[in-house]
Amino acid sequence: MSEKKFYIETYGCQMNFSDSEIIASVMKEADFDSTTDVKEADGIFVNTCSIREHAEQRVRKRLSELKSFKKKKPHLLIGVLGCMAERLKDQLLIDEKSVDIIVGPDAYRDLPKLINTANEGQKAINVILSADETYADINPVRLGSNGVSAFISIMRGCENFCAYCVVPYTRGKERSRNPGTILNEARELFESGFREITFLGQNVNSYKWEGENKDFDFPYLLEKAALINPLLRIRFATSHPKDLSDELLKIIAAHPNICRSVHLPVQSGSSKILKLMNRKYTREWYMERIEAIRKYIPGCAISTDIICGFSGETDDDHHDTLSLMEWAKFDYAYMFKYSERPGTAAAGKYKDDVPEEVKSRRLQEVIELQQKLSHKSNKRDVGKTFEVLVENESRKSKDFLSGRNSQNKVVIFPRKNFKAGDYVNVNVLRCTAATLIGDDAESFYM
Ligand code: SAM
Ligand code: SF4
């Protein structure tokens, strides 16, 4: 057995968590075991996020804490991986003296070589972006898994160039992964006991694989995955509104194991701001897509992302966002203050002209409205029965279990003899803004 151990810490989106599992697999091949105890690690990797300035500041703070580990253990290697590595490149080696290794999102296969270089006392860096790397042949090591749900990365990169966003610069060209390898990974997960997979990509619904005789798109992939077994739930994130086709909605509607939950980031309710953001749709177009979801998939949950205080956003634009939220009745939302990112189109072309206190006030209004909408959405579910996939013990009590319904809502109910991986029909008795609380009606698979 290998003596060397690495510890990985992940910041940011689901895609980063999925990448950490690919990194763990590469490290395993190089005879490194993963550890959850940072003190026993020979290598500490920080898988980073650049999406907002705050995300980068958190990583910087962590790197300064890690310096003290290095003082106690001089052979310890510290690596910065992912988007921040890609964005800042060798500048990070200048700023952060304790860092030995810098690796961009397309260079993880190179890690063993970079570690050797660093062990010889040199700084090691690979931030080359690739047009075709999808890590398709790598079998991810499921880190911190509950054995029930897993991520499968189906595409990488993004070429949408939303004006505010750093992702096209840190993750490079959009490329899709061979569908055969995706479906094999899904089948293997099901056979080893997993009951839910989430297809991941910055823009999953623009998935496209060019085969020899025909092209394979996202509806095709989703349908094939749904047919693996009715007991395997399929989720996906994130969809771009411009690529949300009726064909995709019809495929979801036809397969009960494709979850009734669509995450459709709107970013703003103002067509003027959407144009400045280069989102490629208008308020009206987005509303029409919401209507299409409601028409084809009744009972589908809809969640979104919202940015407050983008360049040029007036109070009227902000009220357009609030009114769209009320209209759409979003079940859930991720809400952010606009953070100007160096190198993006917005940083080059527009002034970051909404004062900080106005951004904060608008964000607060958006959060308060969403809390009301989420609570109302949960209240509508009281008295209904949902099929819940059990994930873990409830955090508050070991007498209760926690799982999710198809709409991606957390449901808590008495443990009885149920266990992770079971499907349980739960009657919802009451709710909070964040959780449904119920009792089992009957279990149909144990
Ligand atoms: N590809 C996905 C999409 O298009 O929605 C997700 C991209 S990003 C990882 C997740 C969210 O971060 C975005 O939907 C957006 O709301 C937010 N975001 C991206 N850049 C931002 C910025 N510069 N400032 C504030 N929020 C930002
Ligand atoms: Fe960023 Fe837009 Fe691409 Fe999403 S679609 S990753 S927000 S550029």
Query: Is residue 422 helix, strand or coil?
Result: coil
- CA of 273 relative to ligand 1 center, distance in Å: 15
| Residue with CA at minimum distance from ligand 2 atom 4 | 202
Which numbered ligand comes closest to the C-alpha of 204?
A: 1
Question: Residue 443's pLDDT is what?
Answer: 47
Question: Residue 255's pLDDT is what?
Answer: 98
- CA of 41 relative to ligand 1 center, distance in Å: 33
Query: Is residue 436 helix, strand or coil?
Result: strand
- CA of 97 relative to ligand 2 center, distance in Å: 32
The dihedrals phi and psi of 65, each to the nearest 5 degrees, come to -65, -35
* Atom of ligand 1 minimally distant from the CA of 341: 23
201-237 burial code (b ≥16 CB/10 A, e <16): bbbbbbbebeeeeeebbbbbbbbebbebeeebbbbbb
The dihedrals phi and psi of 127, each to the nearest 5 degrees, come to -125, 30
* Atom of ligand 1 minimally distant from the CA of 15: 9
Of the candidates 107, 173, 171, 177, the residue with the CA atom closest to the CA atom of residue 137: 177
Which numbered ligand comes closest to the C-alpha of 157?
A: 2
Kindly list the protein residues whose Cβ atom lies closer than 6 A to any atom of ligand 1: 13, 51-52, 164-165, 167, 202-203, 238, 240, 265, 267, 305, 307, 336, 338-339, 341
84-115 burial code (b ≥16 CB/10 A, e <16): bbbbbeeebbeebebbbbbbbbbbbbbbeebb
Q: In whole angstroms, what is the distance from residue 426 CA to residue 434 CA?
A: 17
Tell me 36's DSSP state.
S
| Whole-structure pTM value | 0.96
Contact 12, 48 (CB under 8 A): yes
| Residue with CA at minimum distance from ligand 1 atom 19 | 165
Site to probe by mutation for ligand 2, drawn from 155, 158, 171, 243 as the one with most ligand atoms within 8 Å of Cβ, is 158
Query: Is residue 311 helix, strand or coil?
Result: coil
Task: Give pLDDT tens digits along the chain (446 positions).
Answer: 457 999 999 999 999 999 999 999 999 998 999 999 999 999 999 999 999 999 999 999 999 999 999 888 989 999 999 999 999 999 999 999 999 999 999 999 999 999 999 999 999 999 999 999 999 999 999 998 999 999 999 999 999 999 999 999 999 999 999 999 999 999 999 999 999 999 999 999 999 999 888 899 999 999 999 999 999 999 999 999 999 999 999 999 999 999 999 999 999 999 999 999 999 999 999 999 999 999 999 999 999 999 999 999 999 999 999 999 999 999 999 999 999 999 999 999 999 999 999 999 999 999 999 999 999 999 999 999 999 999 999 988 899 999 999 999 999 999 999 999 999 999 999 999 999 999 976 544 33
Which numbered ligand comes closest to the C-alpha of 168?
A: 2
Question: Residue 337's pLDDT is what?
Answer: 98
Q: In whole angstroms, what is the distance from residue 118 CA to residue 265 CA?
A: 41
* Atom of ligand 2 minimally distant from the CA of 202: 6
Q: What angle do CA 337, 338, 344 make, to 5 degrees?
A: 155
- CA of 55 relative to ligand 1 center, distance in Å: 12
Kindly list the protein residues whose Cβ atom lies closer than 6 A to any atom of ligand 2: 158, 160-162, 165, 167-168, 202-203, 240
- CA of 242 relative to ligand 2 center, distance in Å: 12
Question: Residue 444's pLDDT is what?
Answer: 43
Q: In whole angstroms, what is the distance from residue 299 CA to residue 262 CA?
A: 11
* Atom of ligand 1 minimally distant from the CA of 13: 9
What burial class does residue 124 get, using C-beta atoms within 10 Å of its C-beta: 0-12 exposed, 13-18 middle, 19+ buried? buried
